Amino acid sequence: MKQSHLITKTVKSIPKEEVSLNSRLLIQAGFIDKLAAGIYTYLPLGLKALNNISNIVRDEMNKAGGQELLMPALTPKKNWEETGRWDGLDVLFKLKGAGDKEFALGATHEEVVTPLMKKFILSYKDLPKYVYQIQTKYRNEPRAKSGLLRGREFLMKDLYSFHTDSEDLDQYYEVMTKAYFKIFERCGLGDSTHLTYSSGGTFSKYSHEFQTVCKTGEDIVYLCKNCGLGVNKEIIDETPKCPGCEKSEYEEKNAIEVGNIFKLKAKYSDAFKMNFKDKEDKEHPVIMGCYGIGPSRVLGTIVEVHNDKNGMVWPEEVAPFKFHLVNLSKDSVQADKAYEALQKKGIEVLYDDRNEPAGVKLKDADLMGMPYRLVISDKTAEKIELKKRTEDETKLVALEDIDNV
């Protein structure tokens, strides 16, 4: 992609009320634009990064047997009344349609997926099943000051699992836990993300959060100094010993909840009377689990965790482009050639072909944070100067060798 063709420009002045680091950097670099508190447009570069995260999530969900579908965001009141959440869920956006029919914008989808799967799950032979979607959710969050970390409109992957019994659910819960760790590792958050016990379980003693340690995180977690397992603030008093290794030395950290997994058991199956027949034709409620992850919150978290004084630092699998080719020569012959050669090889490259001073181009490259910078200047002769965004050293490489870095 030629930078001169991009619809966006880096932004000099950011609105004062935009206080979070992730939104400030993303707005400044032209990755997102703010429409209102907690509501953002994903611009081409931001959308590319967001799609990369969604695709990592999709890949790992497919590997874990998930089947993708897409449920509506507009959901009728009666479904929420069945579970008591029309009045019980305080963040629900409610609206009236034609004929005064009432709807909610989906904040989560148990009320849609349960009656949906009820149509297909009849006997034990239909179980287990796993379905997921990557979809825009709406929540009337009272505090929407954290940029992409707390949107009023945001992207969520929600997977729902359906089982004959709790043992089968427990096994799949382990499969999902592993898949989540793989996702966070691929998103560059592997080292800083901890499985955390939380007291939020509806029908089991604990549910689990995936918490990414970060100074700006709004959650407090207690990490076991021995095994790294986390316990969230609300249960720390009842869990003086680490649930993982029984040691009792914790350190307190700020963190961002990037994912959340729950054993729902029969809560929603009971509400919608979703039963299956066993071998003896006896009916039982289907046992459910749900597994959420916010790709847009993950995007914001990556920016909060991976940055320096000059800007963002994208992990390779999430970066909109792996390479940022910057031409500092007076003419563009060599840079155009390099760009074309890299394009031909299928290498993702953003090419700064703008007519701007070197200082501006290099500053923008740092701010935008692609993993590798390639500079062509009068000093590099036939070679190209390669620099990793995370390192200070540069080295001269031949065009042919660039795909091996």
Residues in touch with ligand ATP (CB under 6 A): 108, 139, 141, 150-151, 154, 156, 257-260, 292-294, 296-297
CB of 271 to ligand ATP, least distance (A): 18
Closer of 183 and 319 to ligand ATP (Cβ)? 183
Name which of 291 and 372 has its Cβ closer to ligand ATP.
291
Closest contact distance (angstroms) between CB of 293 and ligand ATP is: 5
Instruction: Supply the minimum distance, in Å, between the C-beta of residue 158 and ligand ATP.
Output: 7
State which residue, 137 or 389, has the beta carbon closest to ligand ATP: 137
Least distance to ligand ATP from the beta carbon of 141, Å?
Answer: 5
Separation of CA 40 from chain center: 15
DSSP string, 303-314: HHHSEETTEE--
Please report how close the Cβ of residue 394 comes to ligand ATP at its closest, in angstroms: 37
Write down the least CB distance from residue 64 to ligand ATP, Å.
17
Contact, 124 vs 164, CB < 8 A?
yes
Residue 139 or 163: the one with the smaller Cβ distance to ligand ATP is 139
On whether the CB atoms of residues 288 and 114 are closer than 8 A, the answer is yes
134-160 burial, b at 16+ Cβ within 10 Å, e below that, comes to: bbebbbebeebbbbbbbbbbbbbbbbb
For residue 330, give the 3-state DSSP assignment: coil
State whether residue 268 is helix, strand or coil. Answer: helix
**Crossing angle of helices 295-305/21-28, nearest 10°?**
90
Q: Which is nearer to ligand ATP, 139 or 186 (CB)?
A: 139
Comparing CB distances to ligand ATP, the nearer of 257 and 352 is 257
Residue 214 CA to residue 212 CA, distance in Å, equals: 6
Q: Cβ–Cβ contacts within 10 Å for residue 360, how many?
A: 12
